[in-house]
Chains A and B, each alone.
Chain A
Amino acid sequence: MAEAEPLLEARNLVKRYGQVLALDGANFTAYPGEVVALIGDNGAGKSTLVKTLSGAIRPDSGQIFVDGKAVSLSSPLDARRHGIETVYQDLALAPDLDAAANLHLGREIYRVRALQILNKTEMRRRAVAAFKDLGVNLPDVGAPVASLSGGQRQSVAVARAVAYASKIIFMDEPTAALGVVQRERVLDNIRRVRDRGITVVLISHNMPEVLAVSDRVEVLRMGRRVARFRTADTNVEQLVGAMTGALTTEDEPGPGSPGSGSPGSDSPGPGSPGSASPGSASTDGRGAA
């Protein structure tokens, strides 16, 4: 099936930190309503890529497209305006505030706007609704986040992202700090978010988890996208091979090479030269979703 336009597309992103080239002409694509996993070894550039796409840092060069339109994401607020939310690895919650306050942090609802008097009742009501929507049972939305378990905190951060994301949620290593049971809940959260039509970009180290929850996988190595897979057609060996360099399915030209800058030459997938592996760059990546 000829799949829809990419929802989010990054072309040829370059980001240099002093001598270190964190992104070396990286590409990335996410389609509407899918869970796409972004994997790569330590230092492959995953975090830099995510930060770039969520507006936390600006790339030195390259382009980002949302719904086919070139955008400039110079701050997290810019990204938000395009419907992009991020669940950070450290969750970015204020532990002394309660769940309802955290959910609305930076987007408070007012009782008297002119005096900036908060409408705590309404914020609490919406928080309860948001958690219920997500199937999360918080015993007390009025308790400080510090008193919640790791999994519950994670749920608060996810609920916050879901409440405002209209298009995409980035989740940076969401299960890294969690136990088995809570990890399962996070994966459930991811599926629920996807089922609401929001694209989830999952950054993870955990291969079984990636295979369990994603529809597609994109692999970064040394600052470049080196492979794309449909989850249904791949396995741990292939993923690890792509991450370590044993297997390369797409050889994207670096920023210095001629032709690399021409938009469209690389979009969406099948046209890119040298893509040989089955399943790679498949545009019906949503699979069974």
Chain B
Amino acid sequence: MTDTNATADAGTAGPGHPEPPAERASFDVVRLLKRTFTTNESWTFIVLIVLMAVFTGLAPGKFLTTSDLSLISQTTAPFLVMAIGETFVILTAGIDLSVGFVLVLSGVVAGEYYVHNGGANAGIGTIWVGVLIGLVTGAAYGALQGFMVAKLKIPPLIATLAGLGGAEGLSYLITGGHDVATVPNKLASSIGQGSLGGVQWLIVISFLVTLLFGLILAFTRFGRYTYAIGSNPEAARRVGIKVDRYLIGVYALSGLMAGLAGIMNLAYYSTTTISGHPLDNLVVITAVVLGGASLFGGRGSILGTFIGVFIPEMLAAGLIIIGVNQYWQYILTGVVLAAAVYLDQFRRRLRERA
């Protein structure tokens, strides 16, 4: 560290900085390669590959057949969508614990709408209205949590824990504790089970969402301010960024994503699966952290999350195939989450010492 500083300082003192362009270019390439191989995404990818290799070795010919891959992608789709929203939240140094419960709430609200409007035979128009209602429910719920974080200064952990309880309670109140299982057939057969050119709609949707928000995070002002707020909220405030408004927006986005996941879930299972998502937040947060996002904010990417989200799912699928009780998945996911955060802390300490 000190060495590079010294040379930089010396460079400034000198009158000119003649640098042969060729040398400069090769230097940049080296730097680029170095940066690529030290990024978190590449590490996450390596972990994923190792995991696949291990399971393939343990169960040759059984793991990772095409049907496996497609099933994994399909069950992962709602998690991927929620993890996209969670990535934005974690980039602001926040956390959203409520995702799985907002998923259920949005599904329940949309489901109730379908029950009272055409039921299983509802038309396309009704279906779209229900989808919209589910999305708005999620976004509004997320915005409320964002308000608690940004304006009421309630720590995100508590605001979304409270939100989690609220969403759970509302779902049970609305349904009386019974799953809404009347889902429009056209919704179930299209988004739920249908496919577009051989690829399931769930996968298409989740990949499109990933692509869209990956671009937004990387190339737009919203993305840049998300990083800036997570990196140093005070600095962001001082340059005139309306930090509170952006925070509410980010939590609303996470809610919106949970709402979309709720619709996908409703379409896939043709029921609201009220009690089926207690650990979605564990899976989603693990995916984002494995993807290289720092819980301290400011660092992370959609690409990382995209890779990271397949790790818990790969674990689950692999464990089933090699005949281990699948509930080990949650234990292992917990271990992986703790290890990933420990590594992040460790890296941060190293950096601060340097």
A: which residues have CB within 8 A of B?
Answer: 56, 75-77, 80, 88, 90-97, 101, 105-108, 110, 115-118, 120, 135-140, 146-147, 149, 151-152, 181-182, 185
Contacts and interface: CB of A to CB of B under 8 A. Distances in A.
B9 A185 contact: yes
Contact of B228 (A105, A137, A151): A105
Contacts of A105: 224, 228, 235-236, 239, 241
B8 A116 contact: no
Contacts of B221: 108, 110, 116, 118
B121 interface: no
A146 B1 contact: no
Interface in B1-39: 1, 4-5, 8-9, 11-12, 17, 31
Interface string B234-249: 1110111100000000
Contacts of A75: 240
A37 to B, nearest CB: 23
A182 B2 CA distance: 12
B220 interface: yes
A96 B220 contact: no
Contacts of A116: 220-222
Contacts of A181: 9
B239 A96 contact: no
Contact of B4 (A88, A97, A139): A139
Contacts of B12: 135-137, 185
A-B pairs with lowest CB-CB distance, top 8: A106-B239, A96-B298, A94-B231, A149-B5, A92-B235, A96-B231, A137-B11, A116-B221
A152 B241 CA distance: 24
Query: Which applies to chain B's interface (DSSP): helix, strand, loop or mixed?
Result: helix
Contact of A97 (B9, B17, B224, B351): B224
Contact of A93 (B11, B31, B235): B235
Given A93-B235, A108-B221, A137-B11, A76 B240 contact: yes
A73 to B, nearest CB: 13
A164 to B, nearest CB: 10
Contacts of A135: 12
Contacts of B312: none
Interface in B209-260: 219-222, 224, 227-228, 230-232, 234-236, 238-241
B140 to A, nearest CB: 23
A97 B299 CA distance: 9
Contacts of A91: 235
Contacts of A77: 240
Given A94-B298, A107-B239, A118-B219, 5 more contacts: A93-B232, A96-B297, A96-B299, A116-B221, A140-B31
Contacts of A107: 239
22 contacts: A76-B238, A76-B239, A90-B234, A93-B232, A95-B232, A96-B231, A96-B297, A97-B224, A97-B231, A106-B239, A106-B240, A116-B221, A117-B219, A117-B220, A118-B220, A135-B12, A137-B8, A139-B8, A149-B4, A151-B5, A151-B9, A182-B9
B17 A137 contact: yes
Contacts of B224: 97, 101, 105, 108, 118
Contacts of A136: 12
Interface string B183-206: 000000000000000000000000
A110 B297 CA distance: 25
Contacts of A96: 227, 230-231, 297-299
Contacts of A88: 238
Contacts of B240: 75-77, 80, 106
Contacts of A138: 8
Interface in B75-100: none
A93 B234 CA distance: 9
B8 A94 contact: no
A115 B212 CA distance: 13
A117 B241 CA distance: 17
B228 A97 contact: yes
A152 B230 contact: no
B8 A92 contact: no
